[in-house]
Amino acid sequence: MITIPVDGPGGSTVYDARTLPSNDNVNSYSFCIDLDGEWFTAAGAMIAYYGNVDFSGVAAFASRAAWVASRFSSPLYTQDWVVASGQGKLVIGDRGNDINSYDLEVGNLTIKAKNLLAFETGLELKQSIVPGFLTLIGTGKFLASSVGPVIFVEPPFRADPDALLGWADCPSPSVHYDHNWMAQSFMAGIQGMFGRESGEERQYDFTGAGTILMQSSELLRADSALLRLIESQTNLLDANSAGTLGHKLIARSQQQ
């Protein structure tokens, strides 16, 4: 027999199927979906569930329901996503990262692919032309994780690629290079360049009207879809260039 401290400092709430929040955060790090029908969820995002819920791969589900293919038009990502269908409560989490829910109404929002955890079937998922990002279009709710709470800023704004979580309504970003930094780095290069390469000279530049979503920077996460995307783009190279790139990549992987 154990005594669970309930509420108060250090205490915890004990949930069951009825008392779990309905389409709301359980705490900063987890969210409970009230499932009645279908949701798309990232593979591994589900941490617990109640009820009669079936999880099947997007490809497998699409063979039974034709509408799935038109909603999930991101072939690169099909193997990383599942369709949760049925009735019940679904708890979503992502390694202790903060989780937020967003409501889109006839809108569009682009978000880092690794941070998107789940979305309603009223939304359409498309690959952004910025590698590693996905765009949601339509009306519905979606869940995304972030390192620390999300910070919303308005353009004009320049964001570090590692700290950029996504953007809504504004045009796709362009890449801005800091000339000051480049000149200094070049000098430093001649002088032997102690210290680390930071990437601070390269930012994503946002203009126009819209909202930018930011988080604290994070370590590069392995994104298998991004790997497939870049691999497919190396088809643009001739055999010689591909060989040169291969050698450089081998050298890089051996350095680490």
Partner 1 sequence: MNGAAFEQVNKKVVRTDVSPGGEVIARRGAMLGYSGGVTFRPISGPGGVGGMVGRAMQGESVAMMVAEGQGNAYYGFRGLYVTLVQLHNETLTVEADRLLAHHAHLSTSVEMIGSGGVRQAVRGAMSGQGLFTTKVSGTGSVALLSHGGTFEIPVDGSGMVGVDPQAYVGHVGALQIDFKISAGVRDVVGRGSGEATQLHCTGHGRVYIQASEEKF
Q: Cβ of residue 139: shortest distance to partner 1, in angstroms?
A: 29
With binding defined as CB under 8 A, does residue 178 bind partner 1?
yes
With binding defined as CB under 8 A, does residue 199 bind partner 1?
yes
CB atoms within 10 A of CB 151: 13
Q: Are 117 and 166 in contact (CB under 8 A)?
A: no
With binding defined as CB under 8 A, does residue 180 bind partner 1?
yes
Instruction: Copy the structure tokens of residue 217.
Output: 């920077």
Per CB under 8 A, the segment of 3-11, 43-51, 122-130, 215-223 that binds partner 1 is 215-223
With binding defined as CB under 8 A, does residue 218 bind partner 1?
yes
Identified binder of partner 1 from the candidate list 4, 106, 129, 219, rule CB under 8 A: 219
With binding defined as CB under 8 A, does residue 211 bind partner 1?
no
Q: Residue 121's closest CA among 79, 168, 81?
A: 81
Residue 107 β-bridge partners: 138
CB closer to partner 1 out of 28 and 241:
28
Q: Cβ of residue 241: shortest distance to partner 1, in angstroms?
A: 30
CB closer to partner 1 out of 162 and 169:
162
CB burial readout 240-256, b (16+ within 10 A) else e: eeeeeeeeeeeeeeeee
With binding defined as CB under 8 A, does residue 244 bind partner 1?
no
Binding to partner 1, residues 144-173 (CB under 8 A): 147-149, 151, 153, 156-160, 163-164
Count of residues binding partner 1 (CB under 8 A)? 36
Instruction: Tell me how far apart the alpha carbons of residues 113 and 117 are, in angstroms, rounded to a whole number.
Output: 9
Instruction: Tell me how far apart the alpha carbons of residues 241 and 220 are, in angstroms, rounded to a whole number.
Output: 26
Per CB under 8 A, the segment of 74-82, 118-126, 208-216, 230-238 that binds partner 1 is 208-216
Per CB under 8 A, the segment of 6-14, 39-47, 67-75, 181-189 that binds partner 1 is 181-189
Q: Residue 214's closest CA among 176, 161, 141?
A: 161
With binding defined as CB under 8 A, does residue 25 bind partner 1?
no
With binding defined as CB under 8 A, does residue 78 bind partner 1?
no
What does the binding site for partner 1 look like in residue numbers (CB under 8 A)? 147-149, 151, 153, 156-160, 163-164, 178-181, 184-185, 188, 191-192, 194-196, 198-201, 203, 212, 214-219
